[in-house]
């Protein structure tokens, strides 16, 4: 019962602080694993026990990124629920630095052309053209679209932030037809039974289109967002504007795209 009581207190605090649903889910899952490892005296901080837990996770091949989430969740519990001020002096794990998978403009066109369902095609076009996350496309409502100003208002996305991004003029006519008879509060892309689509549905739409296109890259729906950022930089758009369009708090997050779009490297020819 001690574990469930602790989890209930964490869940309540996360709701009060308006943490995103995904963060709350990750923290609660992490703490459930940690509490089962610790077993008793949950309110008593034990740095060695935390280290042993993280080591156990490492031995079970849990990724560095997941282990860092576990550590953040544990710190959240002791600092905000138990109100312990003792510093948990444990460093985060070094995460692998991998470049994002980028699709060329030609490959994006191939993927779009391979989709026969017009709504699904429009969904991919809008997501790529505005650099949307899968959750942002799912939650997009009619009143978030400005067909005249060619903008999309992303509301309360990652980090509970709003931002304005781009709407391609090429899809305005088709988009206008799609939302013509919908009320302002309706989802732009609804499921056949009404309501918003699932994350899984969008990912499946993309993976099916990728397969049909014949492209062999290990791309995901999120690759559309990566490609959006890279293509803007290739077009000479200032990185600060790209940062704003993506909704990145720190420009260092945006700078990863400079590693895949460096024209100086592309102009160098192999000696072979």
Three-state SS string over 27-76 comes to: HHHHHHHHHHHHCCCCCCCCHHHHHHHHHHHHHCCCCHHHHHHHHHHHHH
Q: Is 158 noted as a catalytic residue in this protein?
A: yes
Q: Is 259 noted as a catalytic residue in this protein?
A: no
Catalytic residue (choose from 67, 120, 133, 231)? 133
* pLDDT of the residue at 163: 93
User: Checking phi first, is residue 140 left (phi over 0); if not, alpha (psi -120 to 50) or beta?
Assistant: beta
Catalytic residue (choose from 11, 32, 158, 163)? 158
Q: Is 196 noted as a catalytic residue in this protein?
A: no
* pLDDT of the residue at 264: 65
CATH number, span 105-264: 1.10.443.10
* pLDDT of the residue at 1: 55
Query: Which residues, given as ranges, of the chain have pLDDT below 50?
Result: none
Instruction: Give the start-to-end residue ranges of the domains of the chain.
Output: 2-81, 105-264
Nearest 5°: the CA angle 188, 189, 193 is 120
Question: Could you tell me the two tokens for 189?
Answer: 């892309």
Q: Is 113 noted as a catalytic residue in this protein?
A: no
* pLDDT of the residue at 266: 67
Catalytic residue (choose from 34, 77, 128, 257)? 257
Helix orientation angle between 199-213 and 118-130, rounded to the nearest 10 degrees:
100
* pLDDT of the residue at 263: 65
Q: Is 120 noted as a catalytic residue in this protein?
A: no
Q: Do domains 2-81 and 105-264 have the same CATH topology?
A: no
**What whole-number distance in Å separates Cα of residue 139 and Cα of residue 124?**
14
| CATH class of the domain comprising 2-81 | mainly alpha
pTM for this prediction: 0.76
């Amino acid at each position: 019962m001690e574990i469930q009581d602790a989890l209930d207190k964490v869940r309540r605090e996360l709701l009060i602080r308006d943490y995103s649903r995904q963060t709350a889910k990750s923290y609660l899952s992490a703490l459930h694993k940690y509490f089962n490892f610790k077993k008793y005296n949950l309110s008593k901080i034990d740095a060695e026990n935390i280290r042993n837990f993280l080591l156990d996770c490492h031995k079970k091949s849990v990724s560095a990124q997941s282990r860092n989430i576990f550590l953040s969740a544990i710190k959240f519990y002791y600092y905000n629920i138990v109100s312990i001020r003792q510093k948990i002096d444990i460093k985060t794990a070094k995460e692998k630095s991998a470049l994002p998978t980028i699709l060329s403009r030609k490959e994006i066109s191939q993927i779009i052309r391979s989709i026969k369902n017009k709504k699904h095609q429009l969904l991919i076009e809008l997501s790529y053209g505005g650099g949307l996350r899968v959750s942002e496309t799912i939650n997009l409502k009619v009143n978030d679209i400005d067909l005249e100003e060619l903008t999309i208002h992303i509301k309360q996305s990652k980090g509970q932030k709003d931002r304005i991004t781009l709407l391609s003029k090429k899809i305005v006519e088709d988009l206008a037809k799609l939302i013509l008879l919908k009320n302002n509060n309706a989802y732009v892309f609804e499921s056949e039974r009404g309501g918003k689509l699932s994350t899984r549905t969008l990912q499946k739409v993309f993976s099916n289109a990728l397969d049909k296109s014949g492209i062999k890259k290990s791309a995901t729906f999120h690759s559309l967002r990566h490609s959006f950022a890279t293509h803007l930089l290739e077009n000479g758009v200032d990185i600060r504007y790209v940062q704003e369009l993506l909704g990145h708090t720190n420009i260092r997050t945006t700078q990863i795209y400079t590693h895949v779009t460096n024209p100086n490297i592309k102009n160098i020819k192999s000696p072979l």
